[in-house]
């Protein structure tokens, strides 16, 4: 417990004693610390500074205060160009939309924080939203905030690490990735070659369908990263578009940096698009470290160097899916009919991966081409696509032979 005590200093030469003030408190580990001051105001100011810095062991720091301190810290890194603004916005949403909606938990002091309290917070989010992904994301935020609190001396152990998101295993196929039928994919390819921007749309579809980039990687792809040869070529994924702010950033992880081969048809589509588009125009962009020079993108906007996801959807994907007959008008929450495509562009990434698996590529090689951060992610998403009917039948026969 922090306190200030008044006492008399040692005798001076003239026999008088000076009044002193000793401020005392405990650090995050419980060790007592103190300091002597000539004035009470200085002692009070020191205790406030120590408490603000977190040495007190969080007698006043709450979950909400820690989250906001972390946000301010992360925002400084964004302004220096060390972190992405989109990630910062995720923390902002987690604070404003979820943490402040749980006043009891957000007001919990670090010294009173326990794993059950963090678990109850996460359970409430899952119960309210029904979203497993959202709940897992909130757990990651808690872990990050409390790790930050430990580094600052406001917390000794991270109680969020012992939390767990437990759900009943589903017995249906809702979580299985659906690959569009070959007839549907053929219709998409055919529709790409019929529109007003047929050359561009054909290049877009063939790269998505056969090279499997994420849409942010396709829109952020520099023109000089698509190498074309007479027999095909390859695309090098080294950047991605940060859609909300129309900036360029690094791929999702180190494993996302990769080179993916493309066949002659995709290479021809890219070559044709380059001829129609003209030379790629370099441009400058404020990327957080001042104005930076960038090479032109393979697919720039009609009125700027970067093609936003919203513009891509409006100008390319939705018209393309309409021409393919794969758009349905569905009423929204206000009863107004809205065009809803049968699937989004990310489905073509799944198509690319399924084609690699169908050709016998190993899980490790598929992970490399898809740019997944781990082999476990590849297997979780696509493990069901590795099948061997002949081997399964042989296994069944041998199993029977062990008894009969």
- Condensed to tens digits (0 to 9), the pLDDT of residues 220-272 reads 999 999 999 888 999 999 999 987 778 888 887 889 999 999 999 999 999 99
DSSP 36: E
Please give the mean pLDDT across all residues of the chain. Answer: 87
Average the pLDDT over 204-209 and give the result.
Answer: 97
**Which spans in 80-102 are helix H?**
85-93
Average the pLDDT over 192-198 and give the result.
Answer: 94
Based on the domain organization, do 196 and 334 belong to the same domain?
yes
pLDDT tens digit string along 274-311? 999 999 999 998 755 567 889 999 999 988 899 999 99
Confidence at residue 187, expressed as pLDDT on a 0 to 100 scale: 96
Q: How confident is the model at residue 169 (pLDDT cuts 50, 70, 90)?
A: very low
Is residue 243, in this structure, part of any structural domain at all? Answer: yes
Based on the domain organization, do 119 and 199 belong to the same domain?
no
Based on the domain organization, do 204 and 226 belong to the same domain?
yes
Of the candidates 208, 203, 210, 115, the residue with the CA atom closest to the CA atom of residue 157: 115
Q: Which pair of structure tokens corresponds to residue 325?
A: 């007959």
Of the candidates 19, 13, 11, 24, the residue with the CA atom closest to the CA atom of residue 38: 19
Say what percent of the chain tops pLDDT 70: 91
CATH for 113:
1.10.150
**Position 382 pLDDT exceeds 60:** yes
For residue 219, count CB atoms less than 10 angstroms from its CB and return exposed for 0-12, middle for 13-18, buried for 19 or more. Answer: buried
Is residue 350, in this structure, part of any structural domain at all? Answer: no
Of the candidates 317, 306, 370, 307, the residue with the CA atom closest to the CA atom of residue 345: 317
CA dist 404 and 11 (Å) reads 103
Q: Which pair of structure tokens corresponds to residue 113?
A: 């924080």
Q: The whole model's pTM is what?
A: 0.68
pLDDT tens digit string along 110-152? 888 889 999 999 999 988 888 888 899 999 999 999 999 988 8
Contact between 182 and 190 under an 8 Å Cβ cutoff? The reply is no
Based on the domain organization, do 49 and 74 belong to the same domain?
no
Q: Which residues contact 277 (CB under 8 A, 6 or more apart)?
A: 200, 300
Based on the domain organization, do 68 and 125 belong to the same domain?
yes
**Which spans in 80-175 are helix H?**
85-93, 103-106, 115-129, 132-152
The 226-229 sheet, strands edge to edge: 226-229, 232-237, 258-262
Average the pLDDT over 25-48 and give the result.
Answer: 78
Q: How confident is the model at residue 45 (pLDDT cuts 50, 70, 90)?
A: confident
> Does an H or E element contain 63, and which?
helix 63-79
Contact between 251 and 257 under an 8 Å Cβ cutoff? The reply is yes
DSSP 288: S
Q: How confident is the model at residue 186 (pLDDT cuts 50, 70, 90)?
A: very high
Q: How confident is the model at residue 183 (pLDDT cuts 50, 70, 90)?
A: very high
Looking at beta carbons, which pairs linking 279-285 to residues 24 or more positions away fall under 8 Å?
280/222, 280/223, 280/224, 281/305, 285/247, 285/248
Based on the domain organization, do 12 and 101 belong to the same domain?
no
Q: Which pair of structure tokens corresponds to residue 160?
A: 């969020």
pLDDT tens digit string along 58-117? 447 899 999 999 999 999 998 887 888 888 888 999 999 999 999 999 999 988 888 999
Number of domains composing the chain: 4
CA dist 253 and 14 (Å) reads 71
Contact between 269 and 297 under an 8 Å Cβ cutoff? The reply is no
DSSP 48: H
Based on the domain organization, do 378 and 334 belong to the same domain?
no
**Position 172 pLDDT exceeds 60:** no
Based on the domain organization, do 270 and 326 belong to the same domain?
yes
**Position 166 pLDDT exceeds 90:** no
pLDDT tens digit string along 305-342? 999 999 999 999 999 999 999 999 888 777 788 999 99
Q: 3-state class of 176 per DSSP?
A: coil
Based on the domain organization, do 87 and 208 belong to the same domain?
no
DSSP 383: G
Based on the domain organization, do 331 and 371 belong to the same domain?
no
Confidence at residue 35, expressed as pLDDT on a 0 to 100 scale: 86
Range of the domain at 14: 3-53
CATH for 186:
1.10.443
Is residue 123, in this structure, part of any structural domain at all? Answer: yes
Say what percent of the chain tops pLDDT 90: 53
Based on the domain organization, do 337 and 191 belong to the same domain?
yes
Based on the domain organization, do 329 and 249 belong to the same domain?
yes
Mapping DSSP onto H, E and C, the string for 206-250 reads: HHHHHHCCCHHHHHCCEHHHEEEECCEEEEEECCEEEHHHCEEEC
């Amino acid at each position: 417990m922090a306190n200030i005590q008044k006492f008399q200093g040692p005798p001076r030469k003239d026999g008088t004693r000076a009044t002193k003030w000793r401020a005392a408190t405990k650090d995050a580990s419980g060790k007592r610390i103190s300091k002597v001051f000539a004035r009470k105001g200085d002692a009070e100011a020191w205790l406030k500074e120590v408490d603000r810095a977190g040495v007190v062991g969080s007698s006043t720091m709450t979950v909400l205060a820690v989250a906001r301190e972390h946000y301010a810290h992360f925002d400084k890194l964004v302004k220096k160009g060390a972190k992405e603004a989109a990630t910062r916005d995720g923390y902002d949403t987690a604070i404003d939309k979820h943490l402040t909606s749980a006043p009891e938990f957000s007001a919990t002091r670090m010294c009173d924080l326990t794993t059950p309290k963090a678990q109850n917070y996460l359970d409430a989010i899952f119960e309210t939203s029904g979203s497993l992904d959202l709940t897992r994301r909130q757990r990651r935020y808690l872990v990050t905030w409390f790790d930050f609190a430990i580094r600052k001396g406001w917390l000794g152990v991270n109680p969020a690490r012992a939390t767990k998101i437990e759900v009943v295993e589903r017995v249906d196929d809702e979580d299985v990735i659906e690959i569009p039928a070959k007839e549907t994919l053929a219709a998409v390819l055919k529709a790409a070659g019929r529109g007003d921007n047929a050359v561009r749309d054909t290049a877009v579809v063939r790269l998505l369908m056969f090279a499997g980039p994420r849409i942010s990687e396709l829109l952020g792809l520099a023109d000089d990263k698509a190498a074309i040869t007479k027999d095909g070529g390859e695309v090098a994924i080294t950047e991605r578009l940060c859609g909300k702010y129309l900036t360029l950033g690094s791929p999702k992880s180190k494993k996302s940096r990769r080179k993916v081969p493309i066949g002659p048809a995709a290479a021809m589509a890219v070559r044709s698009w380059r001829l129609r588009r003209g030379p790629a125009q370099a441009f400058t962009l404020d990327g957080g470290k001042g104005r930076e020079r960038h090479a032109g993108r393979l697919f720039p906007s009609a009125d700027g160097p970067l093609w936003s996801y919203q513009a891509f959807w409006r100008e390319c994907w939705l018209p393309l899916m309409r021409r393919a007959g794969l758009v349905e008008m569905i009423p929204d929450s206000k009863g107004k009919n809205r065009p809803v495509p049968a699937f989004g562009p990310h489905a073509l990434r799944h198509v690319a991966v399924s084609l690699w698996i169908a050709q016998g590529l190993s899980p490790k090689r598929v992970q490399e081409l898809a740019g997944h951060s781990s082999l476990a992610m590849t297997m979780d998403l696509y493990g069901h696509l590795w099948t061997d009917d002949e081997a399964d039948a042989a296994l069944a026969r041998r199993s029977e032979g062990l008894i009969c």
